Amino acid sequence: MKPVKTEFTNSTLKAPIGSENVVDLPITKLEYTDGSSAVESCWQLSKKELEKVKETGKIYFVCMGKTHPPILLDIKSQLES
Averaged confidence pLDDT in the chain: 93
DSSP state of 68: -
CB 57 within 8 A of CB 75: no
pLDDT value of position 41: 97
**DSSP per-residue codes, 15-34:** PPTT-SS---EEEEEEE-TT
pLDDT per residue as tens, the chain (81 positions)? 999 999 999 999 999 899 888 899 999 999 999 999 999 999 999 999 999 999 999 999 988 789 988 899 999 999 997
